[in-house]
């Protein structure tokens, strides 16, 4: 006869410590959806669950926690980006601007300004992406989720896979526009 065992107190304590490192507000924890095979956020006291991080989350701590505590399928990576489109982008419009008229050179200069702010520690790529990215992923701090080779544009993919976790790229030019990528 096999008996089910409860987690030991040391296991529970370790889990609570790990959750504290996730940068989530008090009462929130990261759980995993078996049906969607994705992480979600759960508040044990209110029983609220949601796909997006709750208000007051330290996004940088959460990204570091997720990178350390989630398994990625073999050969896949997790990345975020900030996209600045220009008039020659394959779709020169976005949620911010229906018609984008800036030149590619102007887009690169804007992106280089964002890159300087990130490198100086003034802000993070995720925080900037929320307001400055021309991609719909802006609402998720630029998060593109987990992807493998052959799923993104070649230029984007080559740079993303070459980055170390946490590292931010320089300017990357694709048919979509110019990007900063964070792995």
List active site positions: 81, 135, 153, 176, 179
Residue 124 region, left (φ>0) first, then alpha (ψ -120 to 50), else beta? beta
Q: Which residues contact 76 (CB under 8 A, 6 or more apart)?
A: 146, 147, 148
Q: Give the chain's end-to-end CA distance (angstroms, integer).
A: 47
Count the neighbouring beta carbons within 10 Å of the beta carbon of residue 65.
Answer: 20
> Mutual orientation of helices 125-132 and 104-119 as an angle, nearest 10°?
150
Query: Tokens at residue 3, please?
Result: 């008996």
Report how far apart, in Å, the C-alpha atoms of 177 and of each of 20, 25, 51, 118 are: 38, 35, 28, 19
Give the distance from CA 112 to its chain's centroid: 20
């Amino acid at each position: 006869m096999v008996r089910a065992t409860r987690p030991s107190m040391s296991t529970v304590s370790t889990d609570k410590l790990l959750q504290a490192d996730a940068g989530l507000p008090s009462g929130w924890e990261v759980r995993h959806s078996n049906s969607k095979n994705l992480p979600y956020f759960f508040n044990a006291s209110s029983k609220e669950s949601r796909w997006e991080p709750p208000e007051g989350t330290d996004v940088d701590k959460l990204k570091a926690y997720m990178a350390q505590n989630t398994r990625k399928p073999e050969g896949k990576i997790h990345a975020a980006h900030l996209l600045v489109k220009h008039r020659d982008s394959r779709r020169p419009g976005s949620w911010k601007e229906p018609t984008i008229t800036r030149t590619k050179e102007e887009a690169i200069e804007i992106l280089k300004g964002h890159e300087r702010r990130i490198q100086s520690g003034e802000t993070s790529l995720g925080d900037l992406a929320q307001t400055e990215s021309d991609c719909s992923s802006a609402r998720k701090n630029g998060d593109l989720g987990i992807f493998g080779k052959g799923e993104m544009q070649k230029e984007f993919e080559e740079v993303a896979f070459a980055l170390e976790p946490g590292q931010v790229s320089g300017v990357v030019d694709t048919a979509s526009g110019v990007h900063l990528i964070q792995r």
